[in-house]
Amino acid sequence: MRLSEIIAPAQVVLPLEAADKWQAIATLLAHLRSVGGVAAGDERGLLDAVLERERSMSTGMEQGIAIPHAAVDGLERVVGCLGIVTRPEGLPFDCLDQQPAQFVVLLLIPRAQKLVHIRTLAEIARLLSRRELRERLLEAGGPREAHALLAAAEG
């Protein structure tokens, strides 16, 4: 599944301002609610699911990428939000390489779609592992431009 199909331009937060990974996750989920990606009544339960998953093991990867996520009941399709941290020091996220995160992809995945879950995580990691794309995303003028860069990189 293509990241640009999961995340619409309105679901890109640029710049993402947060003090830590917990605030980043809450900010991205609140943004998703504000643009109609999730229902207001579902926000607390979804946040709890993502935070529980994050507490069990950090989703901070390498190369400035973090993919906080949770498999949840009641969703028909994968829902996501991309936050781009533009400040030079990045965002502390307990990444595998001990570096800060600059790209935080929040994913909510239907529990029944395990294969989609694995494929989506792999596709995000593959796409954002491209240094040139990461550099261009950090220089993007706004959410629409960042989304267009993602779509173009996916081919």
List of domains in the chain? 3-154 (3.40.930.10)
| pLDDT score, position 109 | 92
| pLDDT score, position 9 | 97
Tally the C-alpha atoms within 13 A of residue 23's C-alpha that lie toward its C-beta.
Answer: 8
| pLDDT score, position 115 | 76
| pLDDT score, position 84 | 98
| pLDDT score, position 117 | 76
Tally the C-alpha atoms within 13 A of residue 153's C-alpha that lie toward its C-beta.
Answer: 24
CA distances from 90 to 19, 54, 103 (A): 10, 19, 9
Task: Please give the torsion angle defined by the CA atoms of residues 133, 152, 35 and 57, in that order, rounded to the nearest 10 degrees.
Answer: -40
| pLDDT score, position 122 | 86
pLDDT averaged per 10 residues in sequence order, the chain, 155 residues: 91 97 98 94 95 95 95 91 96 95 96 82 90 97 97 91
| pLDDT score, position 2 | 86
